[in-house]
Structure 1
Amino acid sequence: MSLHSGLAAFAAGLLLLRALPMLPPVWWLWPQLLLGVLLLAGRGWRLGFFLVGLSWASLAAQWALDDRLEPGLDGQTRWLEGRVVGLPQRNDGVARFELTDLTSRRARLPGRLRLAWHGGPEIHAGDRWRLAVTLKQPRGLVNPATFDYEAWLLGRHIGGTGSVKAGERLEPAEGPAAWRDQLRQRLLQVDAHGRQGGLAALVMGDGSGLDSKDWRILQDTGTTHLMVISGQHITLLASVLYGFVALLARFGFWPGRVPWLPAACAAAFAGALGYGFLAGFDVPVRRACVMIAVVLLWRLRFRYLGIVTPLLLALCLVLLTDPLVVLQPGFWLSFGAVALLLLVFGGRLGAWIWWQAWWRAQWTMALGLAPLMVALALPISISGPLANLVAVPWVSLIVLPLGLLGTLSLPVPVIGEGLLWLAGGALDWLFILLAWIAGQWPAWIPEVVSLWGWALGALGVILLLLPAGIPLRALGAMLLLPALFPPSPRPLVGHADIWLLDVGQGLSVLVRTREHALLYDAGPRRGDFDLGERIVVPVLRGLGVDRLDLMLLSHADSDHAGGASAVQRGLAVEGVVSGEPDRLPAELAASGCKAGDEWSWDGVRFATWQWPGAQDSNDKSCVLSVEARGERMLLSGDLGARGEAAWVAGTQDLRARWLVAGHHGSRTSSSPILLRAVAPERVLISRGAHNPYGHPHPLVVSRIMGLPAAILDTAERGALLIRLGHYVEAEAYRDKPVFWREK
């Protein structure tokens, strides 16, 4: 039996969990696990390892799904008690924190909840609270080519979310959790050139002190990994401690009676654990500690097995401890980076000069991790190799050591604060450089590729990373072409693809013809949370849209136009039209909507209308009609009942198969007169789940059902695709099969 083969088969079974569209039934998993164990004793031991891994991963996932909030409690407000874990975050007056050790008199609750408290008091790690919480099942916005919040929640074993309505602190924080929170507060109060938040991220893994602009700079330059405590930081500290003991031994300063190698390994692991404790032992930190422990054990006793074996063992241990880490992007990127370094630097003849090796490592990471970034729907930094060439040693050798020494020296007057002042200055200079680089080369959001295109691209990357002289190596560049320039499916002439995006309590609709694209509304922005940047731009780029012929903003309310500036920054926008151009930012250069404007793109007819007698913002909405081969969709923004009556009176024929309900299903819109005039077969509602306005209003729902017409709701179905001109049903993105998604 080969140890390599067994570990690889076991890891493959555990990793397969990420690709399962649904979990096998529990009644089958236990016999499957037993079969795997029996096969381990025979010739089918590789299959046995695989089945054991797959069965364990599936069981762990099923237990996590069973720990989710019960559907009957979704939307209900209940009193509960629990203890705060991790470091609470506070942005724009909203405290976000996680609660465990939960109890409630009348409900069975999950093991962990993620809560938000708008305008609430200070929350500290380790506090025990009694709270009135409006409970929600773990659901997120579901769109193509964007971050999957539901997978992230399940990967962290969070069984539900909620918003706090009231509460009282039962027990103040004490112990290690309270100490970490106090240290975090102390760090945020020092003078560090305005970079206290960045130092807290580096030292304690608390990224709440970085604003959206900072994160955008880090994303554009591929340096996000530097501001979150990852394997790189833990490994750096462990390496420094190991090297310090090794240098003492080499130059004769180490006690001869004490073996230096075990002491170096012990010091390195102790340093890793200490840094992990400071960072709260989050998932990436635990993963790094496991990897370091395995590598140190290999260095101490098992070097004859080669380097691949300990890394396979570390992979299996991480997955065995928590199979759901496969739902976390950081897991794939960290192990992928290690595998790439082994591929590029392992087994080569001769050696590179240090600067050649350093540059090689940077572009290897950029090229080699690109297929993983595409598969995980993450932006790819064009400037990453250049930025990391400077940023990695700057953070590793200057900012991080000064930050850690300054934190440890805080009890000493002047010394600790002085070191943190230096660390903050160094970090500020780095951000200035990174901001300039990001301005020159922003991140690239790749278009969604097919499975075969992705596989060919991944194979091409592997070939390009092989040593020079390997046969067919040059073929790798050709294999990249299907991934870099994927065939973009476009509507036929006379047809239109219409995407109603899932942007929560807001609206954003992409209308795409054969050669043109129109965006109707750009999603909401609330404070620092801009869905134009986080959802609309990534979706459009992922669908292959990098230019808009027109951005039509129905009116200027933030739930419709809040993301417009981000869209204009992220794509080329030829023109902007709005029902309220005067209320929009000047940089949009919006012109006014004109009633009766008509045009045709690729055989698809468009028309706009605005009520001349409108008095308020909602009634000034610029409405849009889109018609392909006789199939029509109407979009009315937030037009109210009086405006709808004027629209019906001023238009000869409003009949349409599709209608986007006005004002997210509010009772002030979708009036009986409009519904009778349109007579839609399908009514689309764009709204947020558990929104505070009660949308869609029951009266509106009853009106629509009485037509009769079917209702398609983004809060329940995710993003919706309507292929206008084909007279087919809408495609709901939430219906795509993945095991972690609540239907």
Structure 2
Amino acid sequence: MPVAVPLRPPSFSLCAVAAAALAGCAAATALPALPSRPVLGITLAVAAVLAAMKRWPWARLPALALAFAAWGALHATQRMGHRLSPGMEGRDVVITGRVVDLPRRRGADVSFLFQPLPRAGEPPVRGILRLTWYRAPRVPEACESWRFTLRLRRPRGAVNPGGFDAERNALQRDIAATGYVRASPGNARLAAGHCVDGWRDAIGQQLDAELGPQGARILKALATGDTRGLDAADWDIARATGTSHLIAISGFHVGVAAGGGVLAVRALYLLLPWLATRLPRRIAQGMAGLGVAFAYGMLAGMGLPTVRTLLMVAVLVAAAASRRRMGGLPLLALALVAVLVVDPLAVLSAGFWLSFAGVAFLMACVVQAGKGWRARLAAMLRTQAVMSVALLPLSFWCFGSASLWSFPANLVAAPLVSFAVIPLTLLGCAALPVAALSGPMLQGAALLVGGLWRVLSPLADAPGAHATVPEAGLVPVMLATASAAWAFAPRGLPLRGFALLGCLPLVFPPRDDPAEGAFRAWVLDVGQGLAVLVRTRSHTLVYDTGPAYAGGGDAGAGTVLPALGALGIAPAHLLVVSHGDADHAGGAASVHRRFPAAPVVSGEPGRLRLPAGACARAPPWAWDGVRFHFMAVPMPSGGKASANDQSCVLAVEGHAGRLLLTGDISGKAEARMAAGELRSPLPTVTTIAHHGSRHSSTPAWLRAVRPRIAVASTGWRNRFGHPHPLVVDRHAAQGVEVYDTARSGALRIDVPATGAPRVVREWRRPARRYWRE
């Protein structure tokens, strides 16, 4: 007679629990709007009930995912609630607070993070403020308390194809507002302070004194996470060789520091064996490793890779103390769950995915090395190949580009930095009070880093250093990542040789090029500036490259190049810089550096720091059935035209529509242009001249051009008030559709071979994520 066996609830592994938690937190980030707090509270209660019901044991993992989704949404609700009230934008407010992190000085300007402190009579502002003090009379130091008069606004960034999401980054870092310090007699330093950031700054100053700012710049990044001394060229070399993770303090570096603590205790127990009678060596080693790792993590600023490694070390120590062994994947899963419990919004960070995926790949794909140097060498090569190649799909997804030189570069750089430079740097910093000890170690580390940089520099300009793929959906990225892991799996897994076929949808996505005689244009969101991409069937033109930024960098490198890669329309075949003003030409050098074969033409070639011809002498040409020509802007009768009025005015004419790119020409220049050339039977799309200045886009110009669609490229809440309401009204009176990149983000405009031109997409609208302003 059969015996009834009662059903027991299934026991889920730590890996399954971690997967459910990760799925829940990731799902919460896809919400277009956040539920209310009562709804989230009810969701958590429902998840708890489902998890406790014995009749539905299989509902526990979905319940866990639901609970973590609600947990992540609650954190997001709290941080979104920290954002500056809209009513406080654009007003002068007095706020007292403390300087956090390390202030950065660029010329006479200083940027820093500021934590407001509750003070009677001051507006309640929570979260962190990202501030700039222009022409600062004094640089605020880390940990100091100050009272400032500030002009603030809610976090807002440009929204472009392939671009950096500044608003998501602000949410992750709890940035409540951005702004600048106003000139006021009330601005005052109230008190000094003591904090970890102050110690980091002091160590950096000692390294500068020992090695000089140039020699110490990379060692400061390795020792304390202080990257203020690194310039754009340093970062470009690191990104182009896939070694950025070695400059920033990574989890592996923290692991090396923990290993140093373990070795020190082991040596101590060898010298003093009687210590084992007081405290078991295994526990002492774990505690020392955790202590050293925690101290290093504090100096590093407690970034996500650091926190993840500290949690893993803590779990190892706890397992050792309880005399339990735990496998690698369960250990990683436990660290993942711990990170998501502490900060469920960590899933918004690219470093989170790369960090955990990299360790998981190593555990799954790298087998234990056999005996002998050949086996160890093969294991090292395989390890580096897994980290460099298997993470490429995620790198393309997170950053839009990756370096094909990552494998050979890291093969040299990773062991050198991790096992020589890092130990010498940390020991040198620990011995700073004794110059005779610290000097040789720090100089040796600087010598090694300098040699490494000379080896990596040529690779930064090699083909493949900035490989890009068009933006793809989540499915091709997941398929390519799984295929890369499959290819590196241990022997015995079938069909490994065909695994990389799964990468083809990511590398070669379906193309949708314009037809013959048709073209597309993207007006990018570069703030108060202009950058336009024009694509025919097989050619790409870049018109203007946006501004250069006061803090370093430019829109060419930060916006134009990522957009070209994300849209799959690189390389550029022609670069047109309308004139020499910084808001139009600021990124030209970066674009030209990436595509040196593309000719450059400009209305003011003499003002550019690169070889360029004059657009006035450029003959008309045709690409794929689309005609291009520069319109003549006659000189004034009384003398030389202004810089704005020397702008190149480019007409792009397809079979069924026309695009006019107008630079910064004024109403006077518009009046000098031939009305007959401006008129066209084709429906016209135009950029609004000079960002919508009241002195451009005159009624006579609009009557001659007769645009259907007009786009103003402006910065949000810009100080010029562009586009001017009178200009918007002039266009509205003519029945023109007016778009503004400050409100729309980047825009895609299609001019088909048949049919009317139309705006196909606005990158900021609709707001598909809850953090988007």
Instruction: Give the TM-score of the pair, scaled to structure 1.
Output: 0.94
Report the residue type matching 2:583 in the other structure: D
Instruction: Report deviation, 1:597.
Output: 4.6
In the alignment, is the contact (CA less than 8 A) between 1:88 and 1:95 conserved in 2? Answer: yes
**Corresponding residue for residue 5 of structure 2:** none
Residues 537-564 of structure 1 show CA distances to partners (whole Å, capped at 9, x for unaligned) of: 1211221122223212111222212212
Partner secondary structure for residue 52 of structure 2: coil
Q: Aligned equivalents of 1:360 and 1:629: distance in 2?
A: 55
- 2:744 paired residue among 717, 723, 728: 717
**Corresponding residue for residue 272 of structure 1:** 293
**Corresponding residue for residue 498 of structure 1:** 521
**Corresponding residue for residue 122 of structure 1:** 139
Q: Are 1:461 and 2:472 counterparts? A: no
Instruction: Report deviation, 1:298.
Output: 3.0
Instruction: Report deviation, 1:362.
Output: 0.8
Instruction: Report deviation, 1:315.
Output: 0.3
Q: 1:736 to 1:479 in 2, by over 3 A?
A: farther
Residues 217-247 of structure 1 show CA distances to partners (whole Å, capped at 9, x for unaligned) of: 0011111111111211111100122234345
Q: Are 1:112 and 2:128 counterparts? A: yes
In the alignment, is the contact (CA less than 8 A) between 1:192 and 1:423 conserved in 2? Answer: no
Q: Aligned equivalents of 1:534 and 1:408: distance in 2?
A: 38
Larger deviation: 447-456 or 66-75? Answer: 447-456
In the alignment, is the contact (CA less than 8 A) between 1:23 and 1:739 conserved in 2? Answer: no
Q: Aligned equivalents of 2:156 and 2:416: distance in 1?
A: 39
Residues 79-102 of structure 1 show CA distances to partners (whole Å, capped at 9, x for unaligned) of: 211111111122333322111134
Larger deviation: 652-661 or 379-388? Answer: 652-661
Instruction: Report deviation, 1:670.
Output: 1.9
Q: Are 1:316 and 2:337 counterparts? A: yes
Larger deviation: 494-503 or 461-470? Answer: 461-470
Q: 1:236 to 1:325 in 2, by over 3 A?
A: same
Instruction: Report deviation, 1:147.
Output: 1.9
Q: 1:12 to 1:569 in 2, by over 3 A?
A: same
Q: Are 1:96 and 2:111 counterparts? A: yes
Q: Are 1:385 and 2:414 counterparts? A: no
Report the residue type matching 2:62 in the other structure: L
> Residues 254-403 of structure 1 correspond to what in structure 2 (within 5 A)?
255-257=275-277, 258-301=279-322, 303-345=324-366, 353-403=375-425
Residues 302-357 of structure 1 show CA distances to partners (whole Å, capped at 9, x for unaligned) of: 64442222211110110110111111111111111110111112589999722111
Q: Aligned equivalents of 2:459 and 2:194: distance in 1?
A: 44
Structure 1: any 5+ residue segments left out of the alignment?
none
**Corresponding residue for residue 13 of structure 1:** 24
Instruction: Report deviation, 1:698.
Output: 3.5
**Corresponding residue for residue 627 of structure 1:** 653
Root-mean-square deviation (CA), in Å? Answer: 2.4
**Corresponding residue for residue 34 of structure 2:** 23
Q: 1:607 to 1:254 in 2, by over 3 A?
A: farther
Q: Are 1:658 and 2:688 counterparts? A: no
Q: 1:710 to 1:69 in 2, by over 3 A?
A: farther
Structure 2: any 5+ residue segments left out of the alignment?
1-10
Q: Aligned equivalents of 2:98 and 2:63: distance in 1?
A: 41
In the alignment, is the contact (CA less than 8 A) between 1:17 and 1:326 conserved in 2? Answer: no
**Corresponding residue for residue 217 of structure 1:** 237
**Corresponding residue for residue 425 of structure 1:** 447
Report the residue type matching 2:648 in the other structure: C
Report the residue type matching 1:223 in the other structure: T
Q: Aligned equivalents of 1:232 and 1:651: distance in 2?
A: 64
Report the residue type matching 1:91 in the other structure: R
Residues 17-57 of structure 1 show CA distances to partners (whole Å, capped at 9, x for unaligned) of: 34444434444322211111011112221222111111101
Q: Are 1:689 and 2:716 counterparts? A: yes
Instruction: Report deviation, 1:200.
Output: 1.3
**Corresponding residue for residue 566 of structure 1:** 590
Q: Are 1:154 and 2:164 counterparts? A: no
Partner secondary structure for residue 275 of structure 2: coil
- 2:63 paired residue among 48, 54, 58: 48
In the alignment, is the contact (CA less than 8 A) between 1:245 and 1:254 conserved in 2? Answer: no
Q: Aligned equivalents of 1:486 and 1:227: distance in 2?
A: 33
**Corresponding residue for residue 228 of structure 1:** 248
Report the residue type matching 1:511 in the other structure: V
**Corresponding residue for residue 434 of structure 2:** 412
Instruction: Report deviation, 1:177.
Output: 4.1
Q: Are 1:514 and 2:537 counterparts? A: yes
Instruction: Report deviation, 1:378.
Output: 4.0
Instruction: Report deviation, 1:664.
Output: 1.5
Instruction: Report deviation, 1:658.
Output: 2.1
- 1:636 paired residue among 662, 673, 693: 662
In the alignment, is the contact (CA less than 8 A) between 1:648 and 1:677 conserved in 2? Answer: no
In the alignment, is the contact (CA less than 8 A) between 2:634 and 2:672 conserved in 1? Answer: no
In the alignment, is the contact (CA less than 8 A) between 1:500 and 1:720 conserved in 2? Answer: yes
Report the residue type matching 2:52 in the other structure: A
**Corresponding residue for residue 557 of structure 1:** 581
Q: 1:302 to 1:46 in 2, by over 3 A?
A: farther
Q: Aligned equivalents of 2:459 and 2:690: distance in 1?
A: 41
Partner secondary structure for residue 729 of structure 1: strand
Residues 700-729 of structure 1 show CA distances to partners (whole Å, capped at 9, x for unaligned) of: 333334434332111221111001135333
Partner secondary structure for residue 88 of structure 1: strand
Q: Aligned equivalents of 1:642 and 1:327: distance in 2?
A: 49
- 1:165 paired residue among 182, 195, 200: 182
In the alignment, is the contact (CA less than 8 A) between 2:647 and 2:662 conserved in 1? Answer: yes
Report the residue type matching 1:110 in the other structure: R
Larger deviation: 406-415 or 510-519? Answer: 406-415
Q: Are 1:678 and 2:705 counterparts? A: yes
Residues 608-637 of structure 1 show CA distances to partners (whole Å, capped at 9, x for unaligned) of: 113231522111111012233432221110
Instruction: Give the TM-score of the pair, scaled to structure 2.
Output: 0.91
**Corresponding residue for residue 733 of structure 1:** 763
In the alignment, is the contact (CA less than 8 A) between 1:717 and 1:733 conserved in 2? Answer: yes
Q: Are 1:141 and 2:174 counterparts? A: no
In the alignment, is the contact (CA less than 8 A) between 2:196 and 2:299 conserved in 1? Answer: no
Report the residue type matching 2:761 in the other structure: E
- 2:96 paired residue among 74, 78, 81: 81
Q: Aligned equivalents of 1:117 and 1:439: distance in 2?
A: 36
Runs of 4+ in structure 1 off by over 6 angstroms are: 347-352
Q: 1:242 to 1:156 in 2, by over 3 A?
A: same
Report the residue type matching 1:245 in the other structure: V
Larger deviation: 19-28 or 459-468? Answer: 19-28
Larger deviation: 379-388 or 665-674? Answer: 665-674
- 2:672 paired residue among 623, 634, 646: 646
Q: Aligned equivalents of 1:25 and 1:627: distance in 2?
A: 51
In the alignment, is the contact (CA less than 8 A) between 2:214 and 2:229 conserved in 1? Answer: no
Q: Aligned equivalents of 2:368 and 2:43: distance in 1?
A: 39
Instruction: Report deviation, 1:736.
Output: 5.3
Q: Aligned equivalents of 1:300 and 1:471: distance in 2?
A: 41
Q: Are 1:60 and 2:75 counterparts? A: yes
Report the residue type matching 1:582 in the other structure: G
Q: Are 1:707 and 2:723 counterparts? A: no
In the alignment, is the contact (CA less than 8 A) between 2:577 and 2:603 conserved in 1? Answer: yes
Q: Aligned equivalents of 1:431 and 1:360: distance in 2?
A: 24
Residues 414-462 of structure 1 show CA distances to partners (whole Å, capped at 9, x for unaligned) of: 4334432332222111111111222335231222224443333223212
Q: 1:7 to 1:521 in 2, by over 3 A?
A: closer
Q: Aligned equivalents of 1:302 and 1:732: distance in 2?
A: 58
In the alignment, is the contact (CA less than 8 A) between 1:193 and 1:421 conserved in 2? Answer: no
Q: 1:177 to 1:458 in 2, by over 3 A?
A: closer
In the alignment, is the contact (CA less than 8 A) between 1:124 and 1:173 conserved in 2? Answer: no
Q: Are 1:71 and 2:86 counterparts? A: yes
